[in-house]
Structure 1
Amino acid sequence: MCGIVGYIGTQRAVDILVGGLEKLEYRGYDSAGIATIYDEQLTAVRAKGKLHNLRTKLENNVNYAQIGIGHTRWATHGKPEEYNAHPHGDNQGRFAVVQNGIVENYQELRQELKQKGHNFVSDTDTEVIPHLLAEYYNPDGDDPFMDAVMKAVHRLEGAFAIALLCADYPEELIVARQNAPLIIGFGQGEFFCASDVTALVNHTNAVLALENGEIGRLTPLGVELYDFGGKRLRRTPRVLDWSPVTVEKQGFRHFMLKEIHEQPSVVRTCLEVYFNPDWQRKSTKPVNLNLSSELTDDLENIQIVACGTSWHASLVGKYLLEQIAEIPTFVQYASEYRYSPSPIMANTMTIGVTQSGETADTLAALGMERQRRSRLDKPYRPRIVGISNRPESTLGGMVDQLINTYAGIEIGVAATKTFVAQVMAFYVLALDLAWQRKTISPERIDQILAGLLQLPTQIEKILQTEEGKIEDLAHNFPETRDFVFLGRGINFPIALEGALKLKEISYIHAEGYPAGEMKHGPIALLDAHVPVVAIAMGGSVYEKVISNAQEAKARDARLIGIVPQSYDDEVFHDILNVPEVEELLSPILAVIPLQLLSYYIASLRGLDVDQPRNLAKSVTVE
């Protein structure tokens, strides 16, 4: 969602702030702004729309400040207008604040502050924060700026990450966090803050993620950490293995296309980290997941909570966990689970799946589940697992064990390589549990491992042989208004994911259905203007999907088939081939043509593929 950047050091702050905000554009935003302190003056510049509008305004302002905060806003409270853009200030021009999240009690605070003479100029919840600071600020106190922040954060309810400046303290930048991500970066004589490490990797790879209820004070001399009660804290930064190159397009037109092409490398990395191809010869486990016995002993059920693309990956995971490890598995939308949780089942592992590790609904669902089980499990046994691309995230700090997907930074809002990485994580988990539970033979494990090891080369073959064909095919659909995607078994979630990708970046209405359910209602949608994409991979449901596709063809729908290379029938009008692979492994390959088709249709429509309208990479508010 919204993006935060802050800087204090020896460089020109404006350059650092705007450059950092550019790295956060992928999160989604509708306005932007910065605030700096120079020559004892606090100055804010804001603009509606894209960052180039802010840059245009800044070109007319010579600003040598070495401290500042910046923000890209994704509207929640108040329209996307300049007067609602961050930073927000108080009536005296003493404080400037940027915030991610939502202050849930802002209306109550706003009324209270109005009665005390404060004048509000925006419709946002954020504006109450600088007014609270002004209300609590005592210039004659021992530590006026920090004292005001300490008092203000105790009045805020909801989720927030904030960065604050005070004109009276031109060498202090204060940050605070409660249920929204905020990271401090450590440089040489300079310090940074950001809502995502992508804004920092050009400057430092030493970072510290604030935890809930923590405040940081950044000065030219260093960083001080406190809890909301004022107690001094001591923690050590961690070093990231990311480099500036990972957040560049490297010759690709869009980040999304670059990330589609990175998928062979992502799968290879997962295989190298987790799998032992010669495990039997060395008498070791087939998988290096190292799940603790606390998580796996007497395990009877698995429940998964996720949102969006992560939910689709979890549906594939359900299939794998049930078919390979023979564990009943339930997948729920995290946003729904929070308000209608399933009855507590004995000996259950709960898995939260989120690429960013910051998805608000998923984190809240996991927190609620931990509380429920701590009250009712006697004795309580922690069984909370996370699957994420960001071990340094909030998720990484709250689960009992994290499965890192090793996908690297993903900039495109529409998830591609992180989806494949999450599916790979479920293969890892399913095989590990299957080996522990002895639900499949060692020979079958070897067979699956051998197939997985072929996937990177097979993805590369799809990219080499089918991408040009898919680009040509996309020219047929720029004016199309509706699509239907069909799949069965383990590839039904891939139909859902294909439809979601098309919706997200091309704004074409698309729906995914189980192929066998089409004649129970959705077939009424079909005519010559509604293309149908059918995933007909080899395996137990192949003939069934072909039969369902013929039903669509009989209604004049244009048929696109995702089929193995051995396919030689004439059911489909257009064929996109993938290498021969057993059904259990087919989702990783079947999704690649769907990603490319969505990309090229959106690109031909002239749309902003990496930053689709109304969407954010990391949904950190409910």
Structure 2
Amino acid sequence: MCGIVGYIGTQAATEILVAGLERLEYRGYDSAGVATVDEGKISCVKAKGKLFNLRAKIEQSEYKGQLGIGHTRWATHGKPEEHNAHPHLNTDGTLAVVQNGIIENYLELKEELVSKGIEFRSETDTEVIPHLISVFLHSSSSLMEAIQKTIDRLEGAFAIAVVHAENPYELIVARQQAPLVLGFGQGEFFCASDTTAILPYTRTILNLENGEIAKLTPLGVEMYTFSGDRISRFPRTLDWNPTQVEKQGFRHYMLKEIYEQPAVVRSSLDTYINLNWHADENPDYSPVNIGLTPDMTDNLEHIQIVACGTSWHAALVGKYLLEQVAGIPTTVDYASEFRYSPKPVIPNTLTIGVTQSGETADTIAALESERARRVNLDPKYHARLLAITNRAESTIAQICDCIIDTQAGIEIGVAATKTFVAQTMGFYFLALDLAYRRQAVSNQRISEIVEGLRQIPSQIETILDTQADAIEELAHHFTNETEDFIFIGRGINFPIALEGALKLKEISYIHAEAYPAGEMKHGPIALLDNKVPVVAVAMPGSVYDKVISNAQEAKARDARLIGVTTAMNATEAGHTFDDILTVPEVDEIVSPVLAVVPLQILSYHIAAIKGLDVDQPRNLAKSVTVE
């Protein structure tokens, strides 16, 4: 969840480090720091709070070192104070370490080190690392050996970067269950928690894998296993453009990413839909091409999905599609719960992990535990693992048999928008592919759904062009005294109510809850009065009349009603709703991809009008790489 940047080369490191941290601030923002090596000593600067505080401190002095590490922190152990900020140093200040992750046995290690007379200056788990390395340096032939000995003592998930004043031409990094990527330039090399930090300097990257350690010098990169075996692996070139991590005139990244959604959907359609597929020609191939092999799909009896946060909501849409379109019983679990209370082992089961970053610790752990408990069983019980992710090079892609790359591009805003839509599209492609293979619905119905998906990009553009200003005006009514919101929906759009509530509380800090519309009368209706707005997702289809009826129950309790429905239904719905957020006419089965957009815009403007930090809401991080 924290952000790491490292640099060794021919340029002054400090500006590269701070600029990289600014691109990683979505990973942590409680405090930040950098350490550089110059003329045989380490210069370390830290600051509490946002990165501009660190930058202000750095500008007071000149730092010329061409080797350095930086860190932006999301607090786990120890409050967000300057003394807990990274980098952490050893006792004599000659060695600095930054870490992302959690050292689970740090208390045991700390007690051991304290017994040796070592004094700790922070409450963090990370500080044990520089002290351990320093101890092992006395019995080691190199900095690399001392770090390897230290790693042998660490338990937990971590990515670390280390610099040492007496080794001014070495930057050493290691990874165990926390992301770390290496960047290759001309006579300079980088490391970072995410490629966004180094994208302006290089597009040639290599992801460290679990149990790997690397030494970066001005001459190149050496990679080893933790046990010391040399590794040879080739870097790859990203096709990302540095402008993808810029705001491009938008006030916030979140707003930019909302407006990128038509392009994201078009890209996914272009990638996965077979353009020559026509239902009336009785084709003998699937309407989509997501690369599923027969051993993933044959005799499939059950699907289980694990995810967290917004990805969990996308999975709920997926459950509806997989059951109602593909005809396969499907369960959805929070990844953090699944790992410790797994379902009974069912034969011919496909397990799907959904994660934007591909590094979500709970989701990865759930998939790994599922594979482990099935590995020695009869073949029909063997694990079939599929990932839906935005990062094809991530950890989850390495542990799964197949991935659906959502191809949403870089998402900087902590509150997911375009990646939710992209994940949802991934489930449409999966459901259509399985439906065709199983002949669960007619080719004609598949064709109708595909055609509905083709219309989505232009329909989202219509919402952005015609509704954004009205939604911004509506947002002004909920920025001062509103403390609670209720969202309701039914069927395939109940997950959209959940996602709308999550977006609002994530960035505006207004308490918001979502319920199936039919459940309001079974308890939650007691919350309603004229101070609690209710948002109803009322898309035309099989449950439209039911949602309208449930909304009228809320209206009878004086709640202000906001409806999300189609323009064609707006006049009729106007008799029920006080405010209407309209979307174009759409088939109910594809309506979630449209219905979520007005809710994203509403949440964004409420938070922006309140003057809150939309892109980096308090207490949240973009990629949760610790349990």
Shared fold, TM over 0.5: yes
- Residues 1:614 and 2:619 are matched in the alignment: yes
Contact 1:537–1:563 (CA under 8 A) maintained in structure 2:
yes
In 1, the alpha carbon distance for the partners of 2:477 and 2:79 equals: 37
Alignment-mate amino acid for residue 510 of structure 1 = A
SS in structure 2 of the partner of residue 325 of structure 1: coil
The equivalent residue for 2:184 is 186
List aligned pairs for 1:107-506, cutoff 5 A: 107-138=107-138, 141-142=140-141, 144-280=142-278, 284-378=285-379, 381-479=382-480, 480-506=482-508
CA 1:378 to 1:289, structure 2 compared with 1: closer, same or farther past 3 Å? closer
Structure 1 position 380, deviation (Å): 6.2
- Residues 1:553 and 2:555 are matched in the alignment: yes
Of residues 607-616 and 130-139 in structure 1, the stretch that sits farther from structure 2 once superposed is 130-139
- Residues 1:530 and 2:532 are matched in the alignment: yes
SS in structure 1 of the partner of residue 467 of structure 2: helix
Of residues 417-426 and 45-54 in structure 1, the stretch that sits farther from structure 2 once superposed is 45-54
Relative to the length of structure 2, the TM-score reads 0.98
- Residues 1:67 and 2:67 are matched in the alignment: yes
In 2, the alpha carbon distance for the partners of 1:380 and 1:560 equals: 47
Contact 2:345–2:381 (CA under 8 A) maintained in structure 1:
no
Structure 1 position 373, deviation (Å): 0.8
SS in structure 2 of the partner of residue 537 of structure 1: coil
Alignment-mate amino acid for residue 306 of structure 2 = V
Alignment-mate amino acid for residue 311 of structure 1 = W
Q: Deviations over 1:524-572 (max 9, x none)?
A: 0000000000011000000000000000000000000001111122110
SS in structure 2 of the partner of residue 475 of structure 1: helix
The equivalent residue for 2:591 is 586
Alignment-mate amino acid for residue 595 of structure 1 = Q
In 1, the alpha carbon distance for the partners of 2:461 and 2:39 equals: 56
Alignment-mate amino acid for residue 551 of structure 1 = E
In 2, the alpha carbon distance for the partners of 1:62 and 1:224 equals: 31
Of residues 88-97 and 589-598 in structure 1, the stretch that sits farther from structure 2 once superposed is 88-97
Structure 1 position 283, deviation (Å): 5.1
Structure 1 position 603, deviation (Å): 0.5
Q: Deviations over 1:546-599 (max 9, x none)?
A: 000000000000000001111122110001110111110100000000000000
The equivalent residue for 1:519 is 521
Structure 1 position 239, deviation (Å): 1.2
In 1, the alpha carbon distance for the partners of 2:410 and 2:168 equals: 33
The alignment covers a number of residue pairs equal to 620
Identity of aligned residues (%): 67
Alignment-mate amino acid for residue 136 of structure 1 = F
In 1, the alpha carbon distance for the partners of 2:70 and 2:535 equals: 44
CA 1:339 to 1:381, structure 2 compared with 1: closer, same or farther past 3 Å? closer
Contact 1:305–1:311 (CA under 8 A) maintained in structure 2:
yes
- What is the root-mean-square deviation of aligned Cα atoms in Å? 1.0
Alignment-mate amino acid for residue 485 of structure 1 = F
Alignment-mate amino acid for residue 522 of structure 2 = H
Relative to the length of structure 1, the TM-score reads 0.99
Runs of at least 5 residues in structure 2 that lack an aligned partner in the other structure: none
Structure 1 position 266, deviation (Å): 0.3
The equivalent residue for 2:34 is 34
Contact 1:102–1:125 (CA under 8 A) maintained in structure 2:
yes
Contact 1:294–1:381 (CA under 8 A) maintained in structure 2:
no
Contact 1:294–1:382 (CA under 8 A) maintained in structure 2:
no
Structure 1 position 43, deviation (Å): 1.4
Contact 2:348–2:380 (CA under 8 A) maintained in structure 1:
no
SS in structure 2 of the partner of residue 126 of structure 1: coil
Extract structure 1 runs of 4+ deviating beyond 3 A: 280-284, 377-382
In 1, the alpha carbon distance for the partners of 2:507 and 2:381 equals: 44
SS in structure 1 of the partner of residue 275 of structure 2: coil
In 1, the alpha carbon distance for the partners of 2:556 and 2:258 equals: 34
In 1, the alpha carbon distance for the partners of 2:285 and 2:176 equals: 43
Contact 2:3–2:72 (CA under 8 A) maintained in structure 1:
yes
Structure 1 position 379, deviation (Å): 6.4
SS in structure 2 of the partner of residue 172 of structure 1: strand
In 1, the alpha carbon distance for the partners of 2:21 and 2:248 equals: 20
The equivalent residue for 1:539 is 541
